[in-house]
Structure formats: C-alpha cells, structure tokens
Structure 1
Amino acid sequence: MGPVNHLEEVVLDLERHSAEKGWDAAPSLYALVRSGALRQAEPGIADQLPTDLDALVPVEQDALPELHDLEKALTGIVWPETVDGCALVIERVILPADIEAEVPADPAEAEAFVGNHPAREDVRMVIGVLRDGARLSAIRMRSHDSDDAVLTGAELVRDLPEALAATFEPDEPGEPGDAAGG
C-alpha cells in the first residue's frame, strides 16, 4: 500500500459523515488540523484522535451564512498557522454545461429556472484545500446516492477551491509569496 493521502482520507470521511446526516443540510466549514498539533494543544482529547500524527482532523467551525453570502464570508476568514487546511461541505443544484448558457442573468429568474429545470442535479460537494496548495473534492449526486458512486478529483469543482485557498493567503501586499519578498 502506498503513502496515506491525508487530504483524501479527511474529504471522504467528511463526505460519508454528511451522507449519514442526509440531504438538504446547511453548508459547513471545517478547519483541518494535524493530529499531532491537536494532541499538543488539547491533551485531554488525545485518546479520541488518530494515532497518525500527520492525519488531518476536521474541526467544525461556526455556522456559515446563506449560500448567496458564502463567497463573501470566505473572504473574511483568516486561519491561524496551526490550521493546515480547510474543508467545505455544501449542497448545490447544477445543470449540464450545455444548458448553463440558458440561465437568466437575474438572480430570482435564475433560481426559478434552475430549480424547475428537468435536467437539474442536486449534488453534495466536499472541497478540501491545504495550505501547501493541495486540493481535493468529492461529489455525491442525489440521483446516485451511494458511497460507491462518489466522484473524487482535484479539478471537479470550480471557484470554491480557489476561494478556500485564498483564506490562507496573506492579506497585506508584500507579504510572503510576493515576488519581491524572497
């Protein structure tokens, strides 16, 4: 067996946990913290944590706002250095790519169009990103609601992985990562 992919492990665990709770759930955000760091910070819960010190442990955060404010809410998040990544669990309605161009620009009309379209698909997405840039998503479709039908990949979801990764970027220009900051 190859090396453990800790991001894949935590994303799939969160997906299974969400599936157990059922559909129509509010979005949830998790800080991903290494078991070793969490053991040091919270020795009283060490017996509940994975023994693999590099395993990622999801720590659920406060409730997120409604979906239309989600991207804005993500821009206000700043993680402490002890957080190695984050994961978002969210449900969305999607349409096939060839129909997306037909969606009206007006938000109320778009919601009605998508919500009533016969080709719509309800999906649950779990998007995980690490501070080092690693990304993985898992998608479960309501029409194929079984563990063996969950899709995984780094490029399955647009926009949200970038929004989550941005929560680890410095807010000030000239911070580490700036070309002049070498």
Structure 2
Amino acid sequence: MSNIREAVMDLERHAAEQGWDRPLGLYALVPTADLLKAEPALAGLLGIDSPVDPDELTPVEQEPLPDDVPLEEALGRILWPDEVAGCALVMERLVVKGSDETLAVGEDPVTSGRETEEIRMVAGVLRDGSRHCAMRMRSHDSDDKVLNGADLIPALTSALALTLDLDEGEGGAPGGQAANG
C-alpha cells in the first residue's frame, strides 16, 4: 500500500472544509476495492463508476474516542481487525510557538503565559509501516501552506502504529479490543 500520503491529504482537505474547532476524528483506512466488494452499493454513494486502484484507501470514520481518557490510553485500547490496512487521526491542538510542546486539553493559553498557535494535525499509518502526516496552522489557513511529510509528527504516528500491532520498539503491542465502526 503506497497511498498513505493521498489518504492523509484527502482527510486534511476534508477537515479543512469542515472548519476549525472540530472534535478529534479516528479513521480506519480500508482498501477501497475490498470495501466495494463487501458493500457494492457504496460505489454509487462514493461516486465510483469504474474499477479502483488496488492501493486506493477509503477512510471510515470510527466512533468518537472517550473524552475522559487521555489520547494515548484510548489509542492503547484499540487493536484493528486484519481487514483494516491502516488508521488515521485528525486532531486540533494548541502548540507553544517555537517548540513542539502542545498544551494539555483544556489548559488555558492565557494562564500558561506562553504564546500559542492553533494547529490541525492529520497522521496516518499503514500495516506495511508507511506513514504520512499533515499539519495546518490556523494563522496560515490555506491549502498551499499545509506542511506534510512522513516524519512530521513521529510521536503520533508511533502511537497509531501500536494500534496496528506494529513493533514500535519499547512499549510493545497494546492489549486491546477491535475498533467499532
């Protein structure tokens, strides 16, 4: 599967169309050909009228993650079924300008005394280990200002890789349950 970049960039454009201040979104990345074989009626809904590239991926939005559980812990509870080729996460965070530090969810940037920038991050990982990320800053909210690359947000792609039971070094594989979807 080599279309992780395309899937991530499509999700980033979709998130941009929805606007800012959106909740976190978790997606299963499923081979489009497999999805259409299992659910032929989806071809019409997705506007597909010809055979698809075997590497093309369709993001399938999952149930929201629990609000009362830290993201790392919530991801640690997920183990995707074999039919899922990969997964992606779309999230907004406040990052301290000039660093890679993010403010905790709910932390007030005014009381923290630090200058912040609102960003939207999209990260995706496939079972074959390929990964891609995109990042849009609210202050530079245009398609031509989106940063992207395989190693842009390594902590997030590593956390997602663990949900696919990929060996990410220390930490091991998560115990888990199948994602609902």
Say yes or no: TM over 0.5: yes
Matches of residues 1-182 of structure 1 in structure 2 within 5 Å? Answer: 5-47=2-44, 48=46, 49=48, 51-66=52-67, 69-97=70-98, 111-113=107-109, 117=113, 119-169=115-165
Share of identical aligned residues, percent?
A: 50
- Higher-helix-fraction structure: 1
Q: How far apart, CA to CA, are the structure 1 residues paired with 2:58 and 2:66? A: 23
State the Cα deviation string for residues 53-101 of structure 1 (Å, max 9, x = none).
Answer: 320100000012238621111011111111000000000111135595x
| Amino acid of the structure 1 residue aligned with 2:157 | P
Please report the RMSD computed on the Cα atoms of aligned residues, expressed in angstroms: 2.9
TM-score, normalised via structure 1 length? 0.79
Can you give the 5+ residue segments of structure 1 that lack an aligned partner in the other structure? 172-176, 178-182
Of 111-120 and 73-82, deviating more is: 111-120
Contact 1:64/1:73 (<8 A) preserved: yes
Preserved CA contact (<8 Å) 1:93 1:114: no
Pair 163,115 (structure 1): closer, same or farther in 2 beyond 3 Å: farther
1:46 maps to a residue whose letter is A
SS of the residue corresponding to residue 79 of structure 1 reads coil
Which is further off, 157-166 or 47-56?
47-56
CA–CA distance in 2 between the matches of 1:56 and 1:41? 14
Instruction: Indicate conservation of the 8 Å contact 2:91/2:121, yes or no.
Output: yes
Supply the distance in 1 between the matched residues of 2:156 and 2:100 (Cα, whole angstroms). Answer: 21
Q: Secondary structure at the residue paired with 2:107? A: helix
Mapped contact 1:35–1:55 kept (Cα < 8 A): yes
Q: What is the count of residue pairs matched by the alignment?
A: 163
Residues 16-25 or 151-160, more deviating = 151-160
Q: In the alignment, residue 52 of structure 1 is paired with which amino acid?
A: D
8 Å contact kept, 1:93–1:115: no
2: CA distance, partners of 1:155 / 1:64: 24
